A = this chain, B = another copy of it.
Amino acid sequence: MLPKDYAAQDCSIARGLELVGERWTLLLLRDAFYGVCRYSDFRERLDIPKAVLAARLAALVDSGVMEKRPAPDGAGTRHEYVLTDLGKQLWPAVVALGRFGERAAPNAEGPRKHFRHLDCGGRLDAFCRCERCGATVENPADAEVVPGPGDRNAREDRISRALRAPHRLLTPIA
């Protein structure tokens, strides 16, 4: 969350928040789970100031949550930012926050987006359990994002449009 550290808070939650608690950071990570991996795509989807995006990405790379590397398609000056194993540990936190947000500020038309178990098509609850088969989905790659009934999604950027169809997590978009 925030600019300064939580000094004097000898607590794992505080440590975690120092890494991912600043404004924008968790939305950025959400998109990383969705498969966004390029600087310009993050920008397009989040409407985040460039300076802030650069700072957040650098901080995430620095703390080992994301990895920055040259784009695989060889193209010139491109990079990609992908979640490290450490970053993927945030999976249950992202899911839980999403379910909370949905309950706290529900859409009249239903959920906007949700996560579905690839194996059986069941929805994931706040504990990442598949509501159909009961399994806890520990690996985000075993799930997909699907638009829900309330996904009016006014955004028209490349990424938001791509996400109007189901998409497997951690798979780069386009």
Chain B: CB-nearest residue to A89: B100
Query: Known contacts being A128-B127, A154-B10, is A65 close to B104, with CB within 8 Å?
Result: yes
Q: Is the CB of B16 within 8 A of A104?
A: yes
A128 to B2 Cα, complex, angstroms: 26
CB atoms of A10 and B127 under 8 A apart = no
A12-B92 Cα distance, complex, nearest whole Å: 15
Copies of this chain present in the complex amount to: 2
Residues of B with C-beta under 8 A to A22: 1-2
- Known contacts: A12-B111, A17-B27. The answer to whether A93 contacts B97 by CB under 8 A is yes
Give CA–CA (A27, B26) in the complex, Å. Answer: 16
Number of interface residues of A (CB under 8 A): 61
Q: Contacts of A55 on B, CB cut-off 8 Å?
A: none
Q: Which of B104, B136, B138 contacts A63 (CB 8 A)?
A: B104
How long is the Cα–Cα vector from A129 to B129 in the complex, in angstroms?
A: 11
Query: Contact between A21 and B19 (Cβ–Cβ < 8 Å)?
Result: no
Asked if A96 CB lies within 8 Å of chain B CBs, one says: yes
Q: Does A8 contact B (CB under 8 A)?
A: yes
Which A residues from 1 to 45 make CB contacts under 8 A with B? 1-3, 6, 8-27, 30
